[in-house]
Structures are given as structure tokens and as C-alpha cells.
Structure 1
Amino acid sequence: MLTNANSPPKFPNQQQPQQQQQQNPAQFMLGKGSLQIKKNAIIDDYKVTSQVLGLGINGRVLEIFHKRSGEKYALKLDAVE
């Protein structure tokens, strides 16, 4: 028989409700910098290749390169019917 069946489960590294802060989605930190919403075409900043890295039920994943840094990324494209 469970002795604490009425209390919610506890998970490691979970913040308590009083410690949680609401954040604007544009303020989350992703790796090296913060998320920025851009309104320019992706080809302005990245070289999009035709190299398909993977296929899924919703589309394909292409290899792309950041033009300034040369870093490699993956770009998921949704299938258009």
C-alpha cells in the first residue's frame, strides 16, 4: 500500500513552484547565445546544401552551414503537399 498516494511524485532537478519564473520564449538560452527571432531568409545567413541527413514522416533534414563561422547545422523541412 502506498503511504503518500495523495502527494505528487518528486523528480530530480525539478524546481519548486515558488522558485519557477515565467520567461519570455525569446529569452531562453540555447548553447552559445540567446534565441533571437529573425525575419530574413535563411539563405542570408546559411548555405543550404542538398545533402539529406535524414527522412521522417513530416519531412527531411538537410545539412546547412553558417556563412560567417562555417559551423555545420541541421535544418528540418516540413513536407509540403
Structure 2
Amino acid sequence: MNENLLGIVAGILTSISMIPQLVKVIKEKDAENLSWLMLLVLITGLSLWVWYGFIKDELPIILSNAFAVLVNVTLLICFFIFKKS
């Protein structure tokens, strides 16, 4: 398998991994079981990967991690919108 293809497949899989969780949270309007700290750490790590991708000029790293940042920021927003008061 070509290393670029491997990177693209890995990026797609990791980028979409949180989509089922996002769909569940939005559908049920319940984010009580999410950890905002975990999301914050994950978003920070993913953002650093985006930065690294720019430094290395690697579009697959930039795109996959930027998409994952978007998904996880959306989850974090949902956490604050749907949290129980």
C-alpha cells in the first residue's frame, strides 16, 4: 500500500471517529456523558497536528485534522448547550 494512501485512509478514519458520538448527542440533546476536559485536550492535540501539517506542507494531515477539530469543537459546543443545569 502506498504510504500516501495509508495516510489518507488513517486520516479519514480518525476524522470520522467522533461523528457517531456527535449524531447521538444532537439526536438525544444530551451531552451529560461527555468530558469537556477530554474534548479540550483532543482539540488542542488535533490543532497541533494541523499546525504540524502546515509546517510539513502535508495536505492529508491538515485536512483530516482540521475536519476532526471541527467535529470536536461542535461536540464541545453541544456539551455546553445540552448540559444539565
User: TM exceeds 0.5?
Assistant: no
When you count helix as a share of all residues, which structure comes out higher? Answer: 2
Query: Where on the TM-score scale, by shorter chain, does this alignment land: which range?
Result: under 0.3
Structure number with the bigger relative contact order (C-alpha 8 A, sep ≥ 6) is: 2
When you count strand as a share of all residues, which structure comes out higher? Answer: 1
TM-score, normalised by the number of residues in structure 1: 0.18
